[in-house]
Amino acid sequence: MKTFIEKLRTTKIAVKILSGKGIPYHSRYIATVKVNLLANLKKVIPERKPRSRKWLSTSVLCNQWSTSSAQFSSAEYFTNNILRPVLFEETSLFVPNSAICIDIAPYRQLQELIGQSWQTMGTNISLNLCDPKDNLKSILQGLGKLYNVGLQLDLAKLYPSVKYPVSRGTPMISPLVRWEHSYDWYIANFKLHEKLIFGKRMVAIAIVDEDFRYIEGHVIDGRNLFPAAGYLCLIWETFGMMMGQLYTEISIVMENVKFNRATIVPKVGKVEMMVMIQKGSGKFEVVEGGATIVTGKIRIAMNLSKEMILNHSYKRNFDKETEELEGKDIYKEFKLRGYQYKGLFRSIRSASVSREKGHIEWKGNWVAYIDNIFQMKIFNLDTRDLFVPTGIQKLVIDTNAHQQYLQNVSSTKKYIPVQFFKNVDMIAAVGVEIHKLRISEIAKKRPISDPVIEEYKFTAYRDKKETSLREILTLSVHITLENIPMIKMKTIELVTDEDNISTEKLVSPMILDILKNSPLVEADVNILVSRNKLKDIPKHITVLEPNMVKTGDTTPFAIGYGLLKNGEKDSLKKLLRFTKNAAFLLSREKKNTQLDLSILQKFQLRIVLEKCTFEESWILLKKINKIPEQTMIKEPGGNIFRAVLIQDLQAPKFSLKLPLFSKQLETDLVTNVLRPGNIWGSYRHQLLPSREPKLTYHAIINQVTRGDLSTIRWIEGVLVDVGLWELTATGELIMQTIIKSRT
């Protein structure tokens, strides 16, 4: 037997040994059991039943299918089936090609036979018990395959019958059915565009539209502008629809393109554009809101070798320069100029220091790809002004070269080289050449708030120098924030019934304005005053009665009136109760008034700052906080050291034993700077004084901000030597130089 099997296999005949338990089925060797087998089968199948027309017999010859013995399912039929050979090949000729074959058997013998010999069959599904560990899974998988090929199964037969109505609390089956989303499957998307009979098309652009959602990443100076490359692709797409082809498969040339104005894409709503292309001439227009915004000419690129001028000599010389700038460096520079690109419009991955060479990542979007090529021209400009494209002399797109390059790139991320040739004013990337791209400067949007212009200068702590009230309050607030870091600063200004203070004399409005100039600090400005004492208090300032303040509600900065005056201690006691440990108290005293300094020792206070205005003296006090020996305390966010900077060459060497240093450190301030004359202070940011007009001999008129007529100012001109030309008697021109000397 083994020799015979090997002989068959050498002739490439599929052979498989079956486990028949020693019984030679479908052969004459079991003819002796015919009588007993028939008798037993009649007990199982007592009545015969007609077979379906779909039942093709493999034990009866096809010319005998019309006989009575072959038309019924009976004990005689199955006895004959076991004794006769299997006529599989003859019967398979009657199976239609679109038939569904279901194999029900304990073994997978028929599957291999069908796979090798019955290849014309439409569908082959096995319900065999191929998995001995989980037979139920094999059956259910087979039923699922039957459903997928279109058979409607009555799956209710698999479950016990349900008697309605069901009992309360029976769970629903629908929440148990979920879609499988663990894998992403990509399918081909073939968009069929209707062929345009006339070269006119309306396009509605909206951010909510999935096709235009990427445009929200094209933000310039805070405005979401429709990209210039977007107009070109709309024209290109319309041109392809006129030809009845997919536009990304058409190589084209655009010439004399002009961008007349930009279009802002709203966050809500849509923008409608009309794209018109003249047949024959190829001249196009893009109209929005009744105005022409883009014009030019488009045609098919018949001979790309003549249309494109890029040759290998350029590339050979250009590849020598390395690309050291990364994408984050490039778009940081763009952001400083006013371009807030996001998403697909941040695809430049590297560039050279000369900004004439780089790589752009291809993300499957032609608008973003061409716009990133435009960015290389803008990035090459050594300026911080804002520029946008306004015209193109010639644009060539070679779709075949572009697709071929992408197919040759094996990596997942596809980077395309881009080069800017300054001597011929051309930008070239794979499949795209842009000749003489014109860009023009546009006016930047004015900021909502004016910038805070300050100077950094030394300020003495206790020189009692007369200065402006705003500078005194700024120093006090900044010292508080430096010594008590916080995100939300709460201030209290206490006005008692005895204080002769009007609403105009309150300093809380000015403190609120100072805190607004600190963007990282949230202001919580409060005034403690009796009801109806003050009126018309500005907004954003909370007015409370003294008895409404909770004991645990403490503040780091408080303002009071006459806190160091003899006999006036109630106000000080209230503020000490409302302030936290190491807090600052700003006392507003009348000028040339005797102060009771014994209060400092009694209430554990130290004088930090002493300044004055024309009418009042201002003294900043600090609650004493014990300083650790290592001069370091714990603060939110980390440890803060006490710093001493000595800027006096004549000062003694630093030592805590010297009163010059020890008394200053008792104030527990973070920053302490010693200047000549034993003057302690620190460096602070102060507002620059406003510029005042002055007389000049020469001035010009100019705009401070380009495009903003409200910024027209007289600006002092530069005085130069003036030459006067005179005509002499001999007809010669001579120049007399007059040197101006004005005092």
Catalytic residues: 218, 371
What is the Cα–Cα distance from 366 to 349, expressed in whole angstroms? 17
Is the preceding peptide bond at 165 cis, omega within 30 degrees of 0? yes
Which residue, among 250, 179, 222, 563, has the nearest Cα to 398 in the 3D structure? 250
338 conformational bin, left if phi > 0, alpha if psi -120 to 50, beta if neither: left
C-alpha separations of 73 from 76, 189, 258, 547 in Å: 8, 52, 85, 104
What is the Cα–Cα distance from 604 to 616, expressed in whole angstroms? 24
What is the Cα–Cα distance from 273 to 257, expressed in whole angstroms? 17
638 conformational bin, left if phi > 0, alpha if psi -120 to 50, beta if neither: left
Whether residue 480 contacts residue 513, with contact meaning beta carbons closer than 8 Å, is answered with no
What is the Cα–Cα distance from 273 to 231, expressed in whole angstroms? 10
Whether residue 493 contacts residue 506, with contact meaning beta carbons closer than 8 Å, is answered with yes
C-alpha separations of 12 from 5, 8, 15, 88 in Å: 11, 7, 9, 19
**Parallel/antiparallel/unpaired status of strands 454-460 and 679-687:** antiparallel
Non-local CB neighbours of 63 within 8 Å, separated by 6+ positions: none
CA 328 to chain centroid = 13
Six-digit token pair at 530?
A: 């009796």
Which residue, among 562, 636, 564, has the nearest Cα to 599 in the 3D structure? 564
What is the Cα–Cα distance from 387 to 378, expressed in whole angstroms? 7
